[in-house]
């Protein structure tokens, strides 16, 4: 069940969200700290929609160590190699509707 929490990740009690069109992306800047291990997860409540989430560094280079996507959920993991600004890129890759609402949370340890 709760694999990340069991692994010691603290899930921030807050969320980021909005709505996106198909193949529309959004960047969420976030200062990550070297030494921390992060999981960013996003979801939608729209059946049939598919999402993607990936993390890039300030130069636009893919920075994540792991990622997965399943149905209405997607997650990406980053072990920040340096402290600085990273960009969490969220995207709707498939949806039965024109706009898809989504929310993102993250955890760290």
Partner 1 sequence: MNRILGRVAFATALFLVAIPGFAEAPPSHIDLTKFPATQLDDVVVPLPSEVFNVLDKLGSPNWQGELREPTIKNRGERTQIALLLGAVVAEGFVAVEAADKGRVQRIGRDVLELARAIGVESTVLSRTNSIITKADSGDWVAVRRELDGALTDVKNAMIELKDAQLAHLVSLGGWLRGTEVLTSVVQKSYSPDGADLLNQPDLLKYFQQRLAGMPLRMRNNQLVNKIQKGLDEISPLINQKITPGSVKRINEITGQMVKAIDARA
* Residues at the contact surface with partner 1, assessed by CB under 8 A: 1-5, 10-19, 25-36, 39, 41, 43, 45, 52, 54, 56, 58-62, 64, 67-75, 82-85, 87-89, 93, 101-105, 107-109
| Shortest distance in whole angstroms from residue 7 CB to partner 1 | 11
| Shortest distance in whole angstroms from residue 1 CB to partner 1 | 6
The residue (of 10 and 96) whose beta carbon lies closer to partner 1 is 10
Neighbours of 92 (CB within 10 A): 25
Ramachandran area for residue 4 (φ above 0: left; ψ -120 to 50: alpha; else beta):
alpha
Taking the chain, what is the end-to-end CA distance rounded to the nearest angstrom?
18
| Shortest distance in whole angstroms from residue 39 CB to partner 1 | 7
From CA 60, how far away is CA 43, in angstroms rounded?
Answer: 24
């Amino acid at each position: 069940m709760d694999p990340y929490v069991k692994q010691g990740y603290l899930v921030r009690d807050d969320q980021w969200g909005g709505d996106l069109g198909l193949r529309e992306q959004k960047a969420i800047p976030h200062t990550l700290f070297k030494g921390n291990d992060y999981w960013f997860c996003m979801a939608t409540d729209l059946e049939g929609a598919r999402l993607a989430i990936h993390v890039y560094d300030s130069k636009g280079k893919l920075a994540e160590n792991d990622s997965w996507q399943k149905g209405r959920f997607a997650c990406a993991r980053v072990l920040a190699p340096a402290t600085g600004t990273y960009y969490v890129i969220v995207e709707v890759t498939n949806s039965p509707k024109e706009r898809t609402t989504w929310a993102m949370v993250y955890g760290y340890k």
